[in-house]
Chain A
Amino acid sequence: MPLPDPAEICLGLAAFQAVAHLAAGITGQYRPDHAVMRRLSAGLALSGFGVATGAVIAAALGADVHALGFRLDGMGAALLALVMIVGGAVLRFSVNYLEGDPRHAAFLAGLHLTLVTVVAFVLSATLWTFALAWVAMSLALHRLLVFYPDRPGARLAAAKKFGLARLSDAALLSAFGLLYHATGTDDIAGIVARTHGAGADVSVAAAAVLLVVAALLKSAQFPAHGWLVEVMETPTPVSALLHAGVVNAGGVLLLRFAGVLTSNSAAPWLLAAVALVSVAVGSLAMMTQTSVKAALAWSTVAQMGFMLLQCALGAFGAALFHILAHAAYKANAFLSAGTVRDATGTGLGRAAPWRALAAAAVVALGLAGGGYLPAGGLVTFLAGMGVLVQLDLRRPATAIAALAIVGGLAFCGHFAAAGLLSEGAAAASPALAVLAIGSMTLLCGLQVLARAMPQSPPVAALQVHLRNGFYINTWLNRSARP
């Protein structure tokens, strides 16, 4: 008798886990017994790690199985492992964190239901399952965002999120309609295969742009980021799940439809432009925030921007790796946001390495312009530029060691993640590469400026505008009623 395929076992386990989450969610909703729910949640957190282990093995063995509109391939397995690990940590954390809350069981139930939708989402193989999971995920999360419905701030942020999510749904569904019309199949892999080289097709081009719009709205890119930096009105574990899981949906969408994205030239430009603005605004705004959670939230805007930029540049392996790494980092950061550090003093410290940055930018521009930098290398380079500005070059040994460790680890990660994708990297358009390097240099330059002359009037004014996120939330909130 042949041994069963480990990927099939893993998909079965994932399905079993999702059904268990669904059952737990329904139980908690209609039969709210706190003690039972706490045990269920802790148990499912534990079994989730079993599924995660299976998923890692399946990914390593190069899994690819289909069933009932779902698919476990390398990327699906990696994301499944991530969801199980983040979800398990968030559930276990919530078991004690909300103890005593009269709606503790309902909270746990909300987490379980959201996890069901996220599992379905990362494993979706058809337009139908994908769209259904996309919408369901947003609705499940909405209930958690208004867990304290008497808090006006919670209602306000959730309402913004709700509106943007519906816009994003509309873009997604239109794109899916166009793709179905153009290819005649609802299988995502089939669509990607058939649109390959179909750049001239208007409906595919329009679909690519709509996919980008859906992703930008879903992943809280500037200026549609407002809700993301305002959702601290709901318990910390929701922030962890949101910033580590749900907000990545835009990236997952583009990775699944990478072939559609690259078949077209307008979509990557739109994506890169918005993502770069988000990277810049998010990075700089994060540095001006005065509360832990606001800084983490703005950092997510920047990190999502960087991940989407990687997609735009064709570095899909890097983007997948960024999703995994950022999710782990951010979930952990939120769950430990209550730790108070000793006062560390303020300010960026010493004058910054202008010359090193300028040299790096020139080298990068040369390489990218000459077409010598593959997409994966380009994005590692972009990340390295930011690191270079922050390091203290007066301690060259430390700086070089840090740069080497960061660059090496990131590059290995990109390489490994690319192996999980059918399309790990596409050639970056040299013009886009130049735009990205130029923008990153500008961002680093602004950071240097903030360090060198914080009190000069334009820099000081920029600090105020950034701290207020360019007033987008203020403007949106102006018509709120008590």
Chain B
Amino acid sequence: MNALTSLFFPAEDDLDTRLRTVVRNTAPQWPLKSFIAVNPFMAMGGKDFAEAAVEIARTRGARLVPDVSLPEALPTLADAAGQAGGRPVAAFVTERISQWAAGYYDQGQAVWGNPWRDLPPFAAWRAEARIDRAPELWGMPGFRAMVAGLPGDPVAAAEDLLRTLNLPEAVEALYLQRLFGTVGGWAALLRHRDWSAMLAGGSDDGPRDLLVIRLAWDVLVARALTDEATINRWRAAICAAPPAVTPDLSGLEAREGRWRDALLRTLAQPAPDMPAPAVQAVFCIDVRSEPFRHALEQAWPAIETSGFAGFFGLPVTVLGVSGVRQPACPPLVRPHALVCEALPGTRDSLQPLRAAIDGLKRTGASALGYVESFGLGAAGSLIASGLGVKSARRAPDAALSIAAASAGPEAQARASLAAGLLKGAGLRQPRAALVVLVGHEGQSRNNPHAAGLHCGACGGRSGAVNARAAAMILNDPEVRAILKAQEGIDIPGKTWFAAAVHNTTTDELRLLDAEHIPGHLNGEKAAFEKAAATAGASVRRLRSPALGEAPTLKAFRGRAADPSQVRPEWGLAGCAGFIAAPRRLTRGKTLGGRIFLHSYEWGADDGFAVLEQILTAPVIVASWINLQYFASAAAPDVFGAGNKVLHNVVGGNLGVLEGNGGDLRLGLPMQSISDGQTLRHEALRLSVIVAAPTSAIDGVLSRHRSVRDLVENRWIHLFAMDDDGRVTARRTAAGWQAVA
């Protein structure tokens, strides 16, 4: 987690550093193609939840808890000017900055793009603002000249602008934070670029420049639209000491407690006996795996499931058949191996012609001809969608090859990945001859946020590729030889690792590369597939009322293939708990699909290395998901993406706008959180339950401040469970307390 710490806290104390400190308080948001869950408050872990809620209310205008005592958002100069003139000045400023950012960062929507993309962001903005007539036509005379008068260097410009405002330092930091929040969507997207740059050892000026641009707008708007008296009144208002409030969290605590008490009672039920398994199946810890695992074990008790992060420990980038490279691992990990997909034998001689014709609709003059020639062809799709005909063609699985990892001989590198996976997933000695690694994927059409239904641990992609790659590595005789020689991990020759993918939208489970499974496992394979089909049917029955869908496979497949469906599935809505424990303590218990379920056996964990890994990676990622849902449910206007029926994809794949414009939208759409009448995700903080000695847990917390902060500052709740499934103690800032 040291990487995480260094992502936030730079050292020196000049203005540039202060600006960068402000922007790093904003959490990143990934673009749509890799739309993974991020904790919107990740940089505030060092503050207590209640204290942060006050700060978020002041700088973002969002109320995380329903408490009237939370303060109003700080006014910006644009707010003050708007109030004085009775005009939507702040909205206009956000709109203009959003327009500029969409053009400058566009990833392929505009064929005639922003001409200044080669310049740094601030310089590019300044060049454009000296041409753009919009502010003046909207009623801000002399705006272009004022922009031209700003220094060309962003930090120098910020220095000039701030000097005219003459704010005390503490107020200035809050003010800048508030400004950044008014363009919070773009701020988060640019922070993602910064994040990627920092993982690679660099940094990106985009967020800082965006802040300076917003600052310039604020000051120039005030100059153009208001007088000195208004500015003075504003200064007095922003400098006034805020009333000291401590928001009341008791309601939130009570809701969390009610849900958790029921969970603890379920967990405390006696554990059933577990027979020796015929098949072991490793699922992702995603909350949608839990009901399926339960149903699978019910369908065939000789299956033993376990939970592990769905990227199976492979820090890989996937080079897809489309030629696009995309990381397929969690955001905290820097990918270093490459998995290449290839479709064998599909060279298409008509491809260039098809591409040429398709390109015609992208430029204005040629689109006229395109429409006359091919436009009528679209009537076919219209008729099909009008009749409700849905095609769910699935592309054939591509062949995979794994390119060399960064260090050491290739087989050696693979063996070390394999060792990490086997230890982390508790598979040092597989108990069954067939071990199935199950990745997961969502299925939806015409859905800008489709990646959010895929596996977050795989970078918002289907987990199928990671599962297949992991199985390939583990079945490799050369890898197994190295594992035996160097790690003392002896995998029996008859043991086979198979890959599979769990479609969380239809609850179908499909074995991948099944033709490679050796003949002696045919019986297990057939029985496993049968059990998976039974399990799918029973999970669909569970899910059907909440979706308002008939519990048949046909209905669920239709839903997944429906381009007008705004709720293909409920995703991770409802997520509220994380359990790291042996499966025997949770097996056979109905947990309601709200738990991230990680397998962990502390007795087999040498030096608690696996515990450390669980608390610093999967728990963090689960808390990111939980807090993303929390924020989108509690403050949908600020941290939610709005109404899907109004979404307008911007910049190719950067994100969505709601309606005509405004800021880039953050977080999850209303339809992912609510059924229109009631919230389907109740905003609860994650309760983490770990079956390990409290001393061992404390050992990890003492070494990892970021995790300790999350616990002690009440962003997550942490509990310890004993070997019988009883939760015995709770960790707070004051240490461990017994749980009655």
Contacts and interface: CB of A to CB of B under 8 A. Distances in A.
Contacts of A340: 32-33, 448, 450, 649, 652-653
Contacts of B718: none
Residue from A98, A318, A465 with most neighbouring chain B CB atoms (10 Å): A98
A341 B652 contact: yes
A123 interface: no
Contacts of B650: 290-292
Given A290-B650, A482-B82, A482-B88, A283 B367 contact: yes
Contacts of A295: 109-110
Interface string B332-372: 00000000000000000000110011011011111111111
A170 interface: no
Interface string A266-288: 00000000000001001110111
Contacts of B648: 232, 291-294, 337
Nearest to B35: A340
Nearest to A454: B115
A347 interface: yes
Interface string B81-100: 01000111001000000010
Given A92-B386, A287-B110, A290-B103, A474 B652 contact: no
A272 B650 CA distance: 33
A300 to B, nearest CB: 10
Interface stretch (B127-135, B145-153, B298-306): B127-135
Interface in A297-313: 299, 302-303, 306
A18 B643 CA distance: 31
B659 A454 contact: no
Nearest to A455: B115
B674 A100 contact: yes
Contacts of B128: 464
A385 B365 contact: yes
Contacts of A463: 112, 114-115
B375 interface: yes
A95 B564 contact: yes
A329 interface: yes
Interface stretch (A82-90, A210-218, A250-258): A82-90
Given A97-B645, A340-B649, A391-B356, A325 B376 contact: yes
Interface in A326-372: 326-333, 335-348
B139 to A, nearest CB: 5
A481 B82 CA distance: 10
B653 A398 contact: no
A324 interface: yes
B659 A325 contact: no
Given A100-B676, A290-B106, A325 B447 contact: no
Contact of A341 (B108, B127, B376, B446): B108
A431 interface: no
A235 B645 contact: yes
A205 to B, nearest CB: 30
A342 B371 contact: no
Interface string A396-428: 001101100111111001100000000000000
B224 to A, nearest CB: 13
A398 B103 CA distance: 32
A332 B674 contact: no
Interface string A429-464: 000000000001001100100110011000111011
Interface stretch (B204-212, B377-385, B419-427): B377-385
B714 interface: no
B87 A324 contact: no
Given A99-B567, A100-B674, A465-B133, A482 B366 contact: no
A236 B113 CA distance: 25
Contacts of A288: 103, 110, 112-113
A389 interface: yes
Residue from B91, B103, B114, B660 with most neighbouring chain A CB atoms (10 Å): B660
A49 interface: yes
A102 interface: yes
B356 A398 contact: yes
Contact of A409 (B107, B366, B374): B374
Contacts of A322: 371-372
B387 A468 contact: no
Given A232-B648, A290-B110, A348-B111, A342 B386 contact: no
A304 to B, nearest CB: 11
A299 B352 contact: no
Interface string B625-656: 00000000000000000011111111111000
A368 B479 CA distance: 75
Given A343-B33, A348-B112, A233 B659 contact: yes
Contacts of B118: 455
Contacts of B360: 387, 390-391, 402, 406
A192 interface: no
A464 B131 contact: yes
A189 interface: no
Contacts of B111: 287, 346-348
B137 interface: yes
A235 B646 contact: yes
Interface stretch (A60-68, A130-138, A150-158, A174-182): A150-158
Contact of B115 (A86, A95, A459): A459
Nearest to B105: A290
A94 interface: yes
Contacts of B447: 338
A70 to B, nearest CB: 24
Contacts of B366: 386-387, 389-391
A402 B351 CA distance: 12
A230 interface: yes
A393 B363 CA distance: 16
A395 B86 CA distance: 59
Residue from A94, A461, A464 with most neighbouring chain B CB atoms (10 Å): A464
B671 interface: yes
Given A338-B447, A344-B652, A325 B372 contact: yes
B376 A328 contact: yes
B445 interface: yes
Interface stretch (A3-11, A25-33, A40-48, A196-204): A40-48
A463 B100 CA distance: 12
B383 A89 contact: yes
B526 interface: no
A471 interface: yes
A46 B115 CA distance: 48
Interface in B638-691: 643-653, 657, 659-661, 671, 674-677
A358 B284 CA distance: 61
Nearest to A406: B373
Interface string B559-581: 00011111100000000000000
B102 interface: yes
A92 B114 contact: no
A338 B110 contact: no
Contacts of A293: 648
Contacts of A345: 107-108
A93 interface: yes
Given A92-B385, A289-B110, 8 more contacts: A100-B676, A325-B372, A328-B378, A395-B352, A398-B356, A463-B114, A474-B133, A481-B88
28 contacts: A92-B388, A93-B385, A99-B567, A100-B675, A153-B661, A157-B660, A232-B646, A287-B362, A289-B110, A291-B109, A291-B651, A299-B364, A325-B374, A330-B375, A335-B382, A337-B648, A342-B324, A343-B33, A346-B107, A346-B113, A347-B111, A348-B112, A389-B366, A410-B372, A454-B113, A455-B118, A465-B133, A481-B87
Closest 10 CB pairs of A and B: A283-B364, A100-B676, A386-B365, A325-B375, A329-B375, A88-B386, A383-B369, A390-B366, A460-B115, A409-B373
Interface of B: 32-33, 82, 86-88, 91, 99, 102-103, 106-118, 127-128, 131-134, 137-139, 322, 324, 352-353, 356-357, 359-360, 362-379, 381-383, 385-388, 445-448, 450, 548, 562-567, 643-653, 657, 659-661, 671, 674-677
